[in-house]
């Protein structure tokens, strides 16, 4: 059921089989599988998963390509609740590992916040990442276009950028060199913007010039456009640059601060897992964008099924098989 400040107390003595941190595609898929395995689960969701921002999921099998990410999440939440899963809007502050159980401390409510600790045998970390956006004075102006034709994921939206005039909004020199040849697969009409945030080496400048790509180091004042369709940028010197689409590549914030007290193996910022999503801690699974792998909604959904299945296998193997007791009338 949907938990709130009002009915929280009903769950204060419960030890869940699994607490899932994050109610995005991965967390919801894991929750659906866990409930169908007759395990108890709680999803704690801070809201606004990365896919929430996607206006059109173009590549999720089974949904029309203009389906908003939001609709997938709503359908998933409804599905999960129909299976009697617990869902709570809240922010996980800390996780402590007491061996027999995890203690998950959740902040509930932005105002007049209360704190509640939930306990579980397993933990699925599915809280994902969120993309850094160009820091403008008027951030509303960025939100106006982000997720429409100002994209954050090339694998998701490269196809929408084919042969269009594209701004690459980079957060570091590395993000230029890592992205530029991926992006040029889709369109060669690339203007790189540094927003004045970092210096570009002569080597990279030469590389851009050789391929005809442009480089703009003057900071951006605002994006131009209407009806969520970005048509270019205005720079702080008053000049304007026409664009048809854009890709923001300024790094990501990893929603994993609550894991600080726990020793886990990472590759860069990403958790290392086995094929079923198990991290270096036998009772912590990582799925979706927090783990090493491809950041895609359909992959996160598959990850959820795998992690839930492995947890079920663990728990089932440690449980005595049920016997047929004769409280059922069977005609043989």
Kindly tell me which of 2 and 38 has the beta carbon lying closer to its own copies. Answer: 38
**Whole-angstrom Cα distance, residue 263 to residue 297?**
27
**Only segment of 22-30, 42-50, 103-111, 248-256 that touches its own copies (CB under 8 A):** 22-30
Binding range to its own copies, per CB under 8 A, among 41-49, 97-105, 132-140, 158-166: 158-166
Which of 128, 158, 171, 246 forms a contact with its own copies (CB under 8 A)? 158
Q: Which is nearer to its own copies, 214 or 228 (CB)?
A: 214
Written as one string, the DSSP assignment of 153-218 is -HHHHGGGGTTS-EEEEESSHHHHHHHHHHHHHH-S-EEEE-TTSS---HHHHHHHHHTT-EEE-S
Candidates 8-16, 118-126, 197-205, 321-329: pick the segment binding its own copies (CB under 8 A): 321-329
Q: How far apart are CA 254 and CA 27, in angstroms?
A: 16
CA 155 to each of CA 87, 161, 259: distance values in angstroms, whole numbers, following the listed order: 30, 11, 28
In degrees, rounded to 5, the angle at the alpha carbon of residue 59 between the alpha carbons of residues 58 and 63 is 80
Considering only 12-20, 194-202, 246-254, 313-321, which stretch makes contact with its own copies by CB under 8 A?
313-321
Residues 253-282 that bind its own copies (CB under 8 A): 275
Pick 256 or 296: Cβ nearer its own copies = 296
Q: Which of 12, 75, 113, 174 binds its own copies (CB under 8 A)?
A: 75
Q: Does 316 bind its own copies (CB under 8 A)?
A: yes
Place of tokens 């009409």: 189
> Which residue from 82, 113, 174, 201 is in contact with its own copies, where contact means CB under 8 A?
82
Residue 58 binds its own copies, judged by CB under 8 A: yes
Annotate 61-122 with DSSP letters as a single string. TTS-TTB-HHHHHHHHHHHHHHTT-EEEE-EEEEEEE-SS-EEEEEEE-SSS-EEEEEEEEE
Window 202-231: residues binding its own copies (CB under 8 A): 210-214
The token duo for 91 is: 């922010």
Report the residue number, 106 or 220, with the smaller CB distance to its own copies.
220
Q: Are 32 and 124 a contacting pair, CB within 8 Å? A: no
Q: What are residue 248's DSSP bridge partners? A: 169
What H or E segment, with its residue span, contains residue 297? helix 297-317
Site for its own copies in 121-150 (CB under 8 A): none
Nearer to its own copies, 269 or 310 (CB): 310
Nearer Cβ to its own copies, position 13 or 327?
327
Quick one: 137 or 237, whose CB is closer to its own copies? 237
Minimum CB–partner distance for residue 73 and its own copies (Å)? 9
Of 139, 155, 236, 257, the one binding its own copies (CB under 8 A) is 155
Say how far apart CA 228 and CA 305 lie, in whole Å: 35
Q: Is the CB of 36 or the CB of 48 nearer to its own copies?
A: 36
Residue corresponding to tokens 């004042």: 221
- The CA distance from 15 to 75, in Å, is 27
Q: Does 41 bind its own copies (CB under 8 A)?
A: no
Q: CB-wise, 95 or 306, nearer to its own copies?
A: 306
Give yes or no for residue 22 binding its own copies (CB under 8 A): no
User: Cβ 139 to its own copies, closest distance in Å?
Assistant: 26
Q: Tokens in use for 147?
A: 């997720």
**Binding of its own copies by 303 (CB under 8 A):** yes
Cα–Cα distance, 250 to 176 (Å, whole number): 9
């Amino acid at each position: 059921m949907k938990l709130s400040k009002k009915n929280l107390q009903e769950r204060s003595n419960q030890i869940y089989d699994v607490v899932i941190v994050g109610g995005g595609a991965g967390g919801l898929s894991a929750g659906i599988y866990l409930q169908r395995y007759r395990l108890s689960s709680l999803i704690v969701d801070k809201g606004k998963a990365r896919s929430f921002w996607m206006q059109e999921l173009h590549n999720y099998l089974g949904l029309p390509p203009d389906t908003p990410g939001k609709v997938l999440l709503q359908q998933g939440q409804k599905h999960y609740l129909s299976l009697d899963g617990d869902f709570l809007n809240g922010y996980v502050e800390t996780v402590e590992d007491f061996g027999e159980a995890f203690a998950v401390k959740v902040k509930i409510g932005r105002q007049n916040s209360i704190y509640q600790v939930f306990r579980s045998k397993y933990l699925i970390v599915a809280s994902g990442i969120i993309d850094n956006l160009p820091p403008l004075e008027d951030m509303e102006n960025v939100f106006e276009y982000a997720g429409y034709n100002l994209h954050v994921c090339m694998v998701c939206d490269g196809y929408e950028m084919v042969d269009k005039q594209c701004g690459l909004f980079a957060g570091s020199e590395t993000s230029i060199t890592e992205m530029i040849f991926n992006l040029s697969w889709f369109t060669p009409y690339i203007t790189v913007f540094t927003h004045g945030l970092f210096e570009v080496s002569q080597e990279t400048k030469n590389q851009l010039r050789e391929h005809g790509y442009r480089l703009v180091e003057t900071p951006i004042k605002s994006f131009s456009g209407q009806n969520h369709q970005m048509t270019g940028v205005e720079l702080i010197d008053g000049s304007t640059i026409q664009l048809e689409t854009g890709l923001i590549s300024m790094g990501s914030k990893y929603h994993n601060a609550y894991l600080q007290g726990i020793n886990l193996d990472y590759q860069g910022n990403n958790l290392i897992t086995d094929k079923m999503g198990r991290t270096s801690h036998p009772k912590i699974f990582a799925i979706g964008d927090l783990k090493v792998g491809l950041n895609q909604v359909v992959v996160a959904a598959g990850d959820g099924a795998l992690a839930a299945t492995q947890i079920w296998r663990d728990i089932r193997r440690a449980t005595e098989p049920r016997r047929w007791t004769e409280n059922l009338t069977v005609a043989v």
